[in-house]
Amino acid sequence: MSEEKIYMNRELSWLKFNERVLEEAENEKTPLCERLSFASIYQSNLDEFFMVRVGSLIDQMMVSKDILDNKTRMTPKEQIKAILQQVTLLNYRKDAVYETLMKELEEYGIKIVNFQMVGEKEQENLMQFFKAEIAPLISPTIVGKRQPFPFLRNREIYAVAVLERKNGKEKLGIIPCSSSVFPRLIPVQSGTGISMLSEELILHFIAEAFPGYTVKEKSIIRVTRNADIDADALYDEDLDYREFMTELIKKRKKLAPVRLEMSRKMDGSVIRMLCDFLKTDVRYVFQMNTPMDLSFLFQIQDSLRQIPELFYEKRTPQNSIQFRKGISVIEQIKEKDKLLSYPYENIKPFLEMLREAANDPDVVSIKMTLYRMARQSKVVEALIEAAENGKEVLALVELKARFDEENNIEWSRRLEDAGCQVIYGLDGYKVHSKLCLITRKTQGKLEYITQVGTGNYNEKTARLYTDLSLMTADMEIGQEASAVFAALAMGETVEESGHLLVAPKCLQNRVLEMIDEEIDHARKGEKAYIGIKINSLTDKKIIDRLVLASQAGVKIEMIVRGICCLIPGVKGKTENIRIISIVGRYLEHSRIYMFGCGERQKIYIASADYMTRNTLRRVEVAVPIYDLELKTMLNEMFVTMLSDNQQARELQADGNYKRIFAEGPGLNSQEFFLEQAYRQKDEAAPAVSVETAQEE
């Protein structure tokens, strides 16, 4: 068997992940309004994929035809061809599921219509609405010698028409349809749930916007633009970095198109003309049979909130039983390490820890890495309070957090205004670690409270993503965290570490060493085990070492939510590797590394996936779990997820994912953890076992 059979192309693997998202929109067991969410997420995921990954491949293709994927040896051109074919197939499924969902919504009085579906009276009312409420607010443009083709904003909707004068000359008319001034859903009949999308209304009456012309062809269009900019390659050291990033965001909005979507068939010459204007290729043109922006589905959801069965059962993060009320959070962390599991448990203890630190006279400093923050961030508010109380506050704000740059720029200004020391990361590296260090000085001695997490300091995503957060008073871990911040403040990276795994220099090599240890145990005939939970697996060095471990007889179990470039179950190569993916109510985001068995087992939680960008081009931190109770907790969580037979799919040796069907009682791991958190909120309540959940 050729070596390539154990590898999957990164981009095609990502499309398989988005296919699993689409499957949840298709899943009849998922409540109807939640299926709407998955359909919208599928679309927004695909938008970002074109903006970042397809854009990057197009850039590579322009630079050199000889660039090859290091695993499948595919050229950028070959990858793009395969992507476009797969996206076309997936979009057929999206069209079908959208139609199904719209039909099911009709049972609840919700209907999206076009002009062919409404009567004469409704048509007259819509015409009056267009003339009174929309026509005065739109800005039609005719493309000609004196009117250049307008700039089409990224992912915004436009109506386009081929216009003909009486003399037979043709021109192109364009109207922007994305507006906050008029609603996206236009009521067709007041007091009912029957609506028309505003762009369809504009397109129907487009002739009214261009008097003196005959409309020969028309369509809704949307352009997706490349968003892949290398900030470090463009940065000039003489510029203020924050102002540079502000300008870079503006530049990204004007990058080349990588996709053109159209709602109607148009003559090939018109499509070629549009592509010429946009400087893109006709192969990136997609005809869409569904709306190009599905964000209006959330508005429909809001109108149906009074019907509980259309949604997941309402659940809220519960208070962790590890913390006792009325006692200092910091003092409780000093007693024993704490591990929070979001969104099943509340982020409140972490926020309370920051607030305590901000007002604790013994706290000398608070240092944090900030990657993505909430719009109304209580974390930043606590840091500002600490600075105003005279604490030394160091915040590393990563301005290169893609699509969150503007939010981070604004927070960095507020932090500086409050007296915090703000730094912006390192040349050539993103700082993606989730690290917080509180330094206290009591009776002349230093104390450290260190927090290391798998997810961002974001109160909103802590309710939507599954993440883990360790808080410890371990002195040696605190010293190493302090060394990380000292290096960052100097614009450097940590050269070596003992307890922590710190990318880019002390994570990949340490992971490879621990894999090698398991290989040695297996070759000696001893029990050897590797358990990994991550979002993505693309790092070829780690992949190849896992293959060696499988061949040596190491049992390897992996939970990889998204991209997975390793194919398991290949005889003689990866037959000792099992890989599943869980896509459900919450976005699986936590990272867990497990090496070894029994007393020699090592467990880490981390901010890093096994992607080269994480292991070698970012500052990432993994922290060991030393507390035996917490190790047991993580082992049980891992086993539970591996036992999921409701939301899990298993990666097969042919590279396809197969849903794991229940044999006996069903187990949805996310619902299990929710139920467990609810039962454990009363400290006296017994913990729920996996077996108990399966019986129920």
Q: Looking at the annotation, which residues are catalytic?
A: 432
Distances 320 to 326, 337, 680 between C-alpha atoms, Å: 14, 13, 8
| Residues 31, 311 contacting (CB under 8 angstroms) | yes
Residues facing 206 on adjacent strands: none
Instruction: Compute CA 288 distance to the chain's CA centroid, rounded to the nearest angstrom.
Output: 24
Instruction: Spell out the residues 6+ positions from residue 410 whose beta carbon is closer than 8 angstroms to its own.
Output: none
Name the residue among 356, 320, 352, 317 with its Cα closest to residue 338. 320
Beta strand extents in 540-670 (DSSP E only): 555-560, 577-582, 587-588, 591-595, 602-606, 618-624, 648-651, 657-659
Alpha carbon distance 339, 623 (integer Å): 12
Which residue type occupies 496? E
Q: How far is CA 59 from CA 44, 227, 636, in A?
A: 22, 11, 45
Decide if 391 contacts 579 (C-beta within 8 A).
no
Query: Which residue shows structure tokens 């364009």?
Result: 174
Q: What distances in angstroms separate CA 134 from CA 153, 177, 294, one per listed residue?
A: 20, 10, 21
**Contacts for 310 with CB less than 8 Å, ≥ 6 apart:** 31, 32, 33, 34, 108, 304
Six-digit token string for 496: 């070596």
Compute φ and ψ for 556, nearest 5 degrees: -125, 125
How far is CA 60 from each of CA 46, 327, 347, 391, rounded to the nearest angstrom?
Answer: 20, 57, 42, 47
| Residue 411 · residue 397 · CB < 8 Å | yes
DSSP 240-280: -HHHHHHHHHHHHTTSPEEEEEESS---HHHHHHHHHHHT-
Work out the burial of residue 575: count CB atoms within 10 Å of its CB; fewer than 13 is exposed, 13-18 middle, 19 or more buried.
middle
- Cβ within 8 Å of residue 520, ≥6 positions away: none
Q: What is the DSSP letter of 7?
A: B
- Give the separation between CA 591 and CA 589, rounded to whole angstroms: 7
